[in-house]
Amino acid sequence: MNENENQTRHPYYDYTLDDALKLARSIKYRPFMMPSDPVPEIAEAIKIIRKALRASTFNWITGRVALEVLRSANGEDVAWS
């Protein structure tokens, strides 16, 4: 079985759990992210994305989709948008 077949995906957007974790990593370590910087765990990634969404002054669709994927992977009920 391909490891990507078992990965959480958004039902309406081409976005995976791996994409969401990479986004959280880039936000956490910006502007000087190093290749050795670790990918955050799901719970930490949810906090990072939520904080970024609150600080955003526009309708950040990528952040909202990433948060939905992370919450689903964390076992939470998600109202997909």
- Confidence (pTM): 0.87
The number of distinct structural domains making up the chain is: 1
pLDDT at 22: 96
The three-state secondary structure class of 53 is helix
In a domain, 79, yes or no: no
18: alpha, beta or left, given left = phi > 0 and alpha = psi -120 to 50? alpha
Distance CA 55, CA 36 (A): 27
Domain that holds residue 19: 10-73
Q: Are 75 and 43 in contact (CB under 8 A)?
A: no
Mean pLDDT within 22-48: 95
In a domain, 2, yes or no: no
Query: Mind listing the pLDDT tens digit for each residue in 42-62?
Result: 999 999 999 999 999 999 999
The three-state secondary structure class of 3 is helix
In a domain, 1, yes or no: no
Band (pLDDT 50/70/90 cuts) for residue 8 is very high
pLDDT at 81: 78
pLDDT at 80: 86
Q: Is the dihedral of CA 65, 70, 72, 77 positive or negative?
A: negative
